Structure 1
């Protein structure tokens, strides 16, 4: 039993490099119209239009690096047609890529199912897309992230795990990469915004970044966030609530952080106690700004929130409407519950006015969320009016059980709902930091219930300092991307399937037995 437990502890840090899309398969020694020689005697190249968003260009570079990890051969990634070999991978966004637009016009590429989509892509094999080009593996996204997801799904298929860097997942070397292509369209994500909240970074992430990865900053900075955002993109996630403890610098302390996140197509947000992307734990200076008290210092608070939206408003964000105390404390002022309802209601109105004034958009077009978390749930239940277009983010009890779901009235809201879930937690009476213990079946049960009651706008999971939450992060993102591929039967075997895809299907009975032994 002890040996089985050791295997599981080791395996939790190793993520599969399996067949992420059954419509693309890796084959050996095959030829034909449906075979694309990614790496054979000659190397294919990656082509993108120079007008593409930065995340598409960056993803092309990641893909080239991935192929090098597998084959030891360097592929060309270029926006210039003149340097291309006879086989190319075309990645791009409908509307940005002239080549993809032309293929659509010439009826060589069908994108009808994703024209009005969100983060979707089509994959197709096109003959003679350009003079001198024999075949093109075309990955066309309805938007910038759709294109990136499509290309990185090929990386995972041929053997590069999303966790190759964070968990040192080994890459199996191959001399050739032949792909059998069955044209397909990806599903639209079940949940619109899917991401992580980095919390309690004091223990691992901050010391490691400060001492090892970014000693020049002595902090979590753009180099670390680049690796975090790359991981999210590879997991088909799109949202990040950054580290916010006072031990580390706020995300906005370093201007480059915003540029890094946007270059990976990551939508930035903030957690329940951080209004409009503002981290009051480290950014609020009571000596120069006054007290964090809405009754005594309403104008001072709104001034810094306005400045934050001005600084960050050109990027893609989800804005949290909130008013709690400093960091994770209750509202200042020792107010009665009725008074808290009044003050918080006024604060929400002021924050929405800030968004409207600065962004110059109808508020219905600005993603906004509200977390009825901890004592804020009592304020909400006491009569707080949350605007109908704002998404309600329901939370678990910090240990995996949802405390609330949308009732019949709340299910009719335009803003619908979302989920804030914990697989890591630091707080009384029990901490859950060093080993993630939430059962996969419990995650599915609770998240599926939430999804079925309109929680499909934002799922964010508290992952502590990322390690050791690798498996749970992957499972959470898989469910958020396609909840319908899970059910009450296959979720039971998910972890064993996960491990058997690492070590081989022959070991699946062993892993299932290991699960039983660790439970007993």
Structure 2
């Protein structure tokens, strides 16, 4: 078979007047060529002088007649073959270039996020065999860069600069995505939206920011956020947003929620029945749709059936304009049911009914932040079979027009991001084969052993409820621990903490603490066993694999181990405190602090090279807040028995019997710090 040979002296031809999206992708290819061959490629002045040609498709190319399609075609000139990457449109060319990058240059979609090196080559040979891109399962596919605290705090600039956003959007395009919500409530002068558009992505909006408009109270502080009272003010914000975005590829979100992503009737209590609420939402959505249609030809619009809006729609209280894509959401834990709201967990199915005409789509979480049990810094806690089953079910129900994935901070979630991107591209997946392929891409050795540990991870997560998706991420160990500390210190030690009912049910506070203690006991052995297995395998890995394995896998395990041990020590301290054994409770809280500090250290160990400071803005799981709460609790406990002079425990437990009777007050004026006292008492009490 004939081949196109690409090497360090090969020349590339890019047709003139290409749009910015293609230019950005071309820049990626130039960079990739330099990595592979050690030099920048040459640039040809005409197609006949080039080994690689990038151009729009012609009729002669017979490229598939659909949006975003691309083809590889081959031309022979003076006895040499050249590769022509041709596309029907801008994104077709972008995807064609990135397919060439991955398939022939060997650049992985996650080369940046997983630090996957690109191998040097003297040449690559491309078989002269036409290729047409397959049709993708989902029309609009993308990420919601949501709860992106690490991305915000990673670099000094705020809002995040191109240095942060470019690799996000590049990875999304390499995964076959074409749509993005670029961040959550970021300042409007930031580069995020403009850069996403420049790179060819459709930009869409948070369901709490319809049409991408500014929040009402931010624009009109002091005014009541009531559409009934101030329709002209709301519509002025919508008109401004439409004018700014009308010339971009925009998927317009029609919605009406209250300020701060809450139901609008929290601010406008006149709407006290489902009928009134549904009619107001329907009225607002109709008006938003009319305004978009007045300024944009054939706009793509959607409505997020999220939370209370989904319930009102399913009960027949909301009408949606014809042609608007209806977006259904999972519960934050991967199940296509309504999300838990505080202690209420109705789990209403969140999929279109068979007779619900029109286009449908899905908003899906592989990471979540709910201040209860979600995974934010760690991998998705349920098995991948759940993700595949739920998304296949959604596809079968007709929800193939749109798939938006809550992707969080990207870096901790590459496995599930890759899994979902395979689904949005192909519609189905062999989970075991995909895992083997994923592991083989990221690591150079021990593929089977690493894959086995990935499978084991999903078996270890704490099961906190009766449903298959009731599995705990790392927030379980932090937000609930802080609630327990606060309730404890307020003196309500027998009255229940209602904000824990979602997990424990209604029971006295000591029984609530006991419930969490038992869950942590059940989970800890499995997590520690997995962590030991990780350490044994790490010792057998090449150095470059070892760090990547830590960043992509071991870190999640370590956060579970440290969180589980810290929470368990806190629960032990509570029951010791209730027995009025304050010195021992003080030591146990100190142990809890030490365990949670291991989580902070685990994050630090992943901040090497370009990742320096990546986790410094851990504001959502917020290990530092957990430590702050525990430190406050430790001081509170010390006040119970060692105040006012903070010398009583030292004298009672640490001084020799002789010294207790002869010491002089003026020689013992410097009380031990909490850490010093805890360390000495721990040794005295023979606590391991």
Give the TM bin, normalised by the shorter chain.
0.7 to 0.9
Of 263, 274, 279, 1:330 maps to 263
The 8 Å contact of residues 182 and 193 in structure 2, kept in 1 or not, is answered as no
Q: TM-score, normalised by structure 1?
A: 0.80
1:331-355 residue CA offsets vs partner (Å, 9 max, x unmatched) = 1312222211111111011101110
1:85 shift after superposition: 7.8
- 1:394, CA displacement in angstroms? 0.7
2:424 to 474, 480, 490: 480
Distance 2:440 2:395 in 1: 29
Indicate the SS of the match to 2:423.
helix
> How big is each residue's C-alpha offset from its partner over 1:372-407, in whole Å with a ceiling of 9 and x where there is no partner?
111111221232111221111111111001122111
- Give, in whole Å, the separation in 1 of the partners of 2:112 and 2:285: 41
In our comparison, the structure showing a higher alpha carbon Rg is 2
1:238 aligns with 2:197: no
SS at match of 2:34: helix
From 420, 434, 439, give the equivalent of 1:499.
Answer: 439
Once the two structures are TM-superposed, the CA of residue 517 in structure 1 deviates from its matched residue by 4.2
Deviation sequence 1:141-187 (CA, Å, 0-9, x none): 11111111111111112221122223322112222222224212111
Equivalent position of 1:122 in the other structure: 71
1:415-459 Cα shifts (integer Å, max 9, x gaps): x10000011111143232111224222111111111111111110
SS of equivalent residue, structure 2 residue 452: helix
Distance 1:87 1:401 in 2: 51
> Could you say what the CA RMSD is over the residues aligned between the two structures, in angstroms?
2.2
Question: Structure 1 residue 507: deviation in Å?
Answer: 4.1
- Measured after TM superposition, the shift of residue 321 of structure 1 is 0.3
Confirm whether residue 376 of structure 1 aligns to residue 309 of structure 2. Answer: yes
Query: Is 1:399 equivalent to 2:338 in the alignment?
Result: no
The structure-2 alpha-carbon separation of the partners of 1:473 and 1:517, relative to structure 1 and needing over 3 Å to count, comes to closer
Equivalenced residue count is 440
**How much has 1:493 moved relative to structure 2?**
3.8
Indicate conservation of the 8 Å contact 1:321/1:370, yes or no. Answer: yes
Q: How much does 1:58 deviate?
A: 2.1
In the TM superposition, residue 463 of structure 1 has moved relative to its aligned partner by 1.4
**How far apart are 1:263 and its partner, in Å?**
2.1
> Does residue 432 of the first structure (1) align with residue 375 of the second (2)?
yes
- Measure, in 2, the Cα distance between the counterparts of 1:427 and 1:221: 27
Q: Quick check: 1:294 aligned with 2:227?
A: yes
Moved over 3 A (4+): 84-87, 256-259, 501-504, 506-509, 515-518
Counterpart of 1:456 in structure 2 is: 400
1:99-153 deviation digits (Å, cap 9, x = unpaired): xx3xx44xxx332xx12x021111122112xxx6932201111111111111111
Closer, same or farther: CA 516–453 of 1 in aligned 2, 3 Å: closer
Q: In the alignment, which of 155, 166, 169 is matched to residue 226 of structure 1?
A: 166
| Counterpart for residue 51 of structure 2 | 88
**Cα contact 2:151–2:164 (8 A) shared by 1:** no
Gaps in structure 2 of 5+ consecutive residues: 338-349, 461-688
Q: 1:501 to 1:261 in 2, by over 3 A?
A: closer
CA distance in 2, matches of 1:268, 1:234: 17
For residues 224 and 160 of structure 1, do their structure 2 counterparts lie closer, same or farther at Cα, with a shift above 3 Å needed?
A: same
Q: Find the aligned partners of 2:439 and 2:171 in 1 and give their Cα distance.
A: 20
1:509 aligns with 2:443: no
In structure 1, what is the Cα distance between the partners aligned to 2:165 and 2:405? Answer: 17
Tell me the residue number matched to 1:183: 130
Q: Provide the C-alpha distance between the structure 1 equivalents of 2:245 and 2:178, rounded to a whole number of angstroms.
A: 17
Asked if structure 2 preserves the Cα contact closer than 8 Å seen for 1:240 and 1:267, the reply is yes
Q: 1:279–1:327: 8 Å Cα contact kept in structure 2?
A: no
The verdict on how the C-alpha distance between 1:498 and 1:122 changes in structure 2, with shifts beyond 3 A counting, is same
- Report which stretch shifted further, 314-323 or 371-380: 371-380
CA contact (8 A) 2:183 2:192 kept: no
Give how far 1:510 is off.
Answer: 2.5
- 2:11 counterpart residue number: 45
- 306, 319, 337: which one aligns with 1:385: 319
Matched, 1:353 2:296: no
Cα deviation for residue 207 of structure 1 reads: 0.7
The answer to which of 317-326 and 68-77 deviates more is 68-77
Mapped to 1, the partners of 2:136 and 2:455 lie a distance apart of: 33
CA distance in 1, matches of 2:139, 2:364: 16
In the TM superposition, residue 77 of structure 1 has moved relative to its aligned partner by 4.1
Q: Label 1:58 to 1:517 Cα distance change in 2 as closer, same or farther (>3 A).
A: closer
Counterpart contact for 1:500–1:511, Cα < 8 Å: no
Q: Measured at CA, do residues 279 and 162 of structure 1 come closer, stay the same or move farther in structure 2, by a change above 3 Å?
A: farther
Deviation for aligned residue 1:515? 4.0
The answer to whether the Cα contact below 8 Å between 2:4 and 2:51 also exists between their aligned partners in 1 is no
- Tell whether the 8 Å contact from 2:282 to 2:319 is kept in structure 1 after alignment: yes
Q: Deviations over 1:451-488 (max 9, x none)?
A: 1111111100111222311221122112111114x2xx
Task: After superposition, give the CA deviation of every residue in 1:276-326 in whole Å (9 maximum; x if it has no partner).
Answer: 122528x832338x3322112111011111111101110101000001011
Structure 1: where are the runs of 5+ without partners? 1-31, 95-100
Are the aligned partners of 1:86 and 1:134 in contact in 2 as well (CA < 8 Å)? no
In structure 1, the residue corresponding to 2:138 is in which secondary structure? coil
Query: 3-state SS of the aligned residue for 1:350?
Result: helix
Taking the TM superposition and a 5 Å limit, the aligned residue runs for 1:92-241 are: 92-94=55-57, 101=58, 104-105=59-60, 109-111=61-63, 114-115=64-65, 117-128=66-77, 134-157=80-103, 158-202=105-149, 204-209=150-155, 211=156, 215=157, 218-241=158-181
TM superposition shift of 1:57: 2.2
C-alpha distance in structure 2 between counterparts of 1:514 and 1:432, whole Å: 19
Give, in whole Å, the separation in 2 of the partners of 1:76 and 1:445.
48
Contact 2:51 2:82 in 1 (8 A): yes
